[in-house]
Amino acid sequence: MFEVIKDIEIWESFRNGDEDAYSILYREHVGAMYRYGMSLSSLSEYFVFDCIHDVFTEIWAKRATITTPTNIRSYLLKALKNRMQNQILRRESKFLPIKDGEFDELWEDSVSDEMAFFNNYGFSKEELVNKLIAQLPPRQQEALRLRFVEELEYSEVANVMSINRQSAQNLVVRAVEKLRKTFPSLNL
C-alpha cells in the first residue's frame, strides 16, 4: 500500500510540472516498459526506445489534463503498447490488421513431445519452463508476464490487454493447464 501511495504522490507532483517527479517516474518504470515493449515486438530495440520516448513526452505535454491513474505501471505499459501498435499499423497499413487472438489456434499441441525431447538433453528446469512458456500463444504469454512479473492485478492485466477481467484470467488458466499437462511427463 505504501508503495502505491508514494507512486500517486509522485504522479501528482509530476502533474504540477515537477521535473524531479517526472524523472523518478521514468526511472521507476522504464525497466518494465522496456522488457514489456521488447516482448511485444520483434522489431528493433530502437523502435521500443522511440515509443518509450513518445509515451513520456506525450504525458509531459498533457500532464495538466490527464487524470491520475489507479495503477501507474499499468497505465504506462498500456500507453506503450498503444503507441507501438499505432506505429506498426501506420507502417503496415497496406495489410489487413490481424486481431489479437486470431493466431491462438496455430499454437496447438505439438508442445509436449518437443518438451520431452528437450528434457532428455539435460536442460535445467528454468530452461525447460522458459521454452514451454515461449511456445504458448502470445497473448497467454503476455498475460503471464503482466500478472507474474509486472505484478498487475487481473483487472489491470485486462486493462492493458484491452479485454475483460474474465478473459485475462482465462488466458492464464489455459496457460496453467498446458503447464500442468506437460509437467508430469517432465517430472518437474
Q: How far is the CB of 131 from other proteins (least distance, A)?
A: 8
Residue 182: which of 105, 104, 125 has the closest Cα? 125
Complex with other proteins: residue 1 or 98, whichever CB lies closer: 1
Residue 57 binds to other proteins (criterion: CB under 8 A): yes
Instruction: Judge residue 182's burial from the number of C-beta atoms within 10 Å of its C-beta, 0-12 exposed, 13-18 middle, 19 or more buried.
Output: buried
Residue 187: which of 133, 123, 134 has the closest Cα? 123
Residue 125 binds to other proteins (criterion: CB under 8 A): yes
Instruction: In whole angstroms, give the CA distance from residue 146 to residue 165.
Output: 13
Assess contact for 175 and 136: CB atoms under 8 A.
yes
Residue 154: which of 139, 169, 170 has the closest Cα? 169
Complex with other proteins: residue 35 or 96, whichever CB lies closer: 35
Residue 6 binds to other proteins (criterion: CB under 8 A): no
Residue 129 binds to other proteins (criterion: CB under 8 A): yes
Complex with other proteins: residue 6 or 53, whichever CB lies closer: 53
Residue 47 binds to other proteins (criterion: CB under 8 A): no
Complex with other proteins: residue 60 or 103, whichever CB lies closer: 60
Complex with other proteins: residue 81 or 147, whichever CB lies closer: 147
* Binding range to other proteins, per CB under 8 A, among 74-82, 89-97, 103-111, 122-130: 122-130
Site for other proteins in 130-169 (CB under 8 A): 130, 132-133, 144-145, 147-149, 151, 153-154, 169
Assess contact for 71 and 152: CB atoms under 8 A.
yes
Instruction: Report in angstroms the alpha-carbon separations of 14 from 56, 60, 67, 160.
Output: 11, 8, 12, 22
Instruction: In whole angstroms, give the CA distance from residue 10 to residue 23.
Output: 10
What is the size of the binding site for other proteins (CB under 8 A)? 43
* Contact string 60-89 vs other proteins (x = CB under 8 A): xxx---------------------------
